[in-house]
Amino acid sequence: MAEHNIVVFAGDHAGPEVVAVGIKVLKAIEQHSPSAGKFNLQDHLLGGCSIDATGSPLTDEALAAANAADAVLLGAIGGPKWGTGAVRPEQGLLRLRKEMGHAEVCRGTDFVIVRDAWDTEPYSRVEIERVARLAGFLARGRGETKVWSLDKANVLATSRLWRKVMTETFAKEFPDLTIEHQLIDSAAMIMVKNPRGLNGVVVTSNLFGDIISDEASVIPGSIGLLPSASLTGIPDGKSKCNGVYEPIHGSAPDIAGKGIVNPIGTILSVAMMLRYSLNLPNEAKAVEDAVRNAIDGGLRTKGMGGSSGTKEAGDKIVEELIKVLKA
């Protein structure tokens, strides 16, 4: 039986609530899809809870465990308690991304946003090529013919380099795909006016991607619906591709502990983990189908205009997942 080693960072405030639901999903798969293997979960601290316990937002021990794992599941970190001083929860996540060499994938409505995930805007050719290859790989996997590249090449020198390297990389390595360049301000308008206009794969830099992926959250109606993944490589199923999987929402300190946080972003992050890092595409699709079936059946959390709480929503989706796995 295959074994998958997963480091779990529950994080701060509402993070542990949504992670608990994600773990329920993994346990359901373990029980009802034995061929998927066993999920070995290892808990570690990240963010504010780590600062409180150790004085550091990410210890060397936790980082080493994350690097050695097959995948990392993260709830959410941060909150006003820790402020914006010299030691901040977000530093732990940034260090995790940097040390693991991540590019980030944020799944939107019917598009995937690929962005660099380091805390810097200066770019070298190597960094841009890395993100371009991930975008091209994902586009081919989705059967797309076009990739949208967002920049600000009419103003920023880094964007002009970005556009040049994107063009050259796609021409050389992905000649079957068309790379369409779009200025970020224009793309932001298109996303609001006609989201389908950006259907497919969207690739951009860290800053632009951070903003536009949150903008994308209003399209389905709730930021609690969207998952994300920070990947260490190309998820081709041939070599190890570790990743950090988390919902795009924050730690929600204002509603933490009330049992009303939307767990769907975390559940869909688990689906991405199954697909990209654990090479379990059938189980990933089963999770996505279960979420879709539950929503089609009327499931609505408070953030979606309904009344279902975190546990109720999670239990309903797990119920649908078991049906899909048994079908």
For residue range 11-41, list pLDDT tens digits in order: 999 999 999 999 999 999 999 999 999 999 9
Where does the pLDDT of residue 136 fall: very low under 50, low under 70, confident under 90, or very high at 90 and above? very high
Residue 177 pLDDT: 98
Residue 261 pLDDT: 98
Q: Is residue 176 part of a domain?
A: yes
Least confident range of 28-37, 113-122, 193-202: 113-122
Q: Is residue 293 part of a domain?
A: yes
Q: Is residue 213 part of a domain?
A: no
Residue 21 pLDDT: 99
Residues 49 and 88 in one domain: yes
Q: Is residue 215 part of a domain?
A: no
In the predicted model, is pLDDT for residue 263 greater than 60? Answer: yes
Structure token pair of residue 230: 């920070």
Where does the pLDDT of residue 285 fall: very low under 50, low under 70, confident under 90, or very high at 90 and above? very high
Where does the pLDDT of residue 118 fall: very low under 50, low under 70, confident under 90, or very high at 90 and above? low
Question: Cα 28–29–31 angle (5° rounding)?
Answer: 65
Examine the fold and report which residue of 156, 172, 204 is the final residue of a domain before the chain moves on: 204
What CATH number does residue 322 fall under? 3.40.718.10
For residue range 60-92, list pLDDT tens digits in order: 999 999 999 999 999 999 999 998 889 999 999
Strand partners, 9: 44, 74
Residues 289 and 231 in one domain: yes
In the predicted model, is pLDDT for residue 127 greater than 80? Answer: yes
Residues 235 and 173 in one domain: no
Residues 56 and 137 in one domain: no
Q: Scanning the structure block, which residue is given the tokens 């920023």?
A: 156
111 against 141, higher pLDDT: 141
Mean pLDDT of 196-208: 90
Residue 293 pLDDT: 98
Q: Is residue 34 part of a domain?
A: yes
Q: Which long-range contacts (CB under 8 A, 24 or more apart) does 191-199 make?
A: 191/215, 191/216, 191/219, 195/108, 195/109, 195/110, 195/111, 195/219, 196/110, 198/111, 198/148, 199/109, 199/110, 199/111
Residues 192 and 272 in one domain: no
Q: Is residue 209 part of a domain?
A: no
Residue 16 pLDDT: 98
Residues 78 and 156 in one domain: no
For residue range 288-315, list pLDDT tens digits in order: 999 999 999 999 999 999 999 999 999 9
In 3D space, the residue among 32, 36, 25 whose CA is nearest the CA of residue 3 turns out to be: 36
In the predicted model, is pLDDT for residue 232 greater than 90? Answer: no
Residues 41 and 90 in one domain: yes
Where does the pLDDT of residue 108 fall: very low under 50, low under 70, confident under 90, or very high at 90 and above? low
Residues 100 and 126 in one domain: no
The number of folded domains in the chain is 2
Examine the fold and report which residue of 176, 204, 232 is the final residue of a domain before the chain moves on: 204
- The residue range of the domain holding 52 is 3-109+222-326
Percent of the chain exceeding pLDDT 70 equals: 96
Residue 107 pLDDT: 62
Residues 177 and 104 in one domain: no
In the predicted model, is pLDDT for residue 115 greater than 90? Answer: no
Give the CA count within 13 Å in the CB-facing half-sphere of 113: 32
Q: Are 165 and 188 in contact (CB under 8 A)?
A: no
What CATH number does residue 166 fall under? 3.40.50.2300
Residue 243 pLDDT: 94
Q: Is residue 251 part of a domain?
A: yes
Q: Is residue 66 part of a domain?
A: yes
Residues 60 and 152 in one domain: no
